[in-house]
Amino acid sequence: MKFMLLVYAEADAWEEEARKLAMKESVALCYELDAEGEYCSAAPLQPTTTSVSIRVREGEAFITDGPFAETTEQLGGYFLVDVENREAAIAVARRIPGARVGTIEVRPIVELDNLPEAK
């Protein structure tokens, strides 16, 4: 069963050295998950200052700089894992360094049969 583990934190949650260490820990976690057959994908995201939000209403596109939601915590990255169940996904989420300064949202993926294969 696939789960998306969404990593949220405040923009200034990490000091630079701690952020670099957390990135190394996250990469190591990806290799551990791969060895366990549970890794699908993971990536940090660029800051929200680089994002745009697009809404289409009645055929007209509205483009706004910045993230969709205005909150103190921002989506900073994700892990996509293939594990046995929700409890296993939660166990992985507890290992993500971002959980120490922010929040990890665990959501099951709806798998559709008629999509192209990921590259």
CATH label of the domain that carries residue 22: 3.30.70.1060
Who's near 10: CB < 8 A, 6+ residues apart? 72, 73, 74, 101, 102
Tally the domains of the chain. Answer: 1
- Contact, 2 vs 86, CB < 8 A? no
The whole-angstrom separation of Cα 93 and Cα 28 is: 14
> Is 63 within the bounds of a domain?
yes
- Contact, 13 vs 80, CB < 8 A? no
> Is 113 within the bounds of a domain?
no
Residue 94 has pLDDT above 90, yes or no: yes
Question: Considering the entire predicted model, what is its pTM?
Answer: 0.87
Task: Give tens-digit pLDDT for 12-70.
Answer: 899 999 999 999 999 999 999 999 999 999 999 998 888 888 889 999 999 988 776 66
- Contact, 90 vs 84, CB < 8 A? no
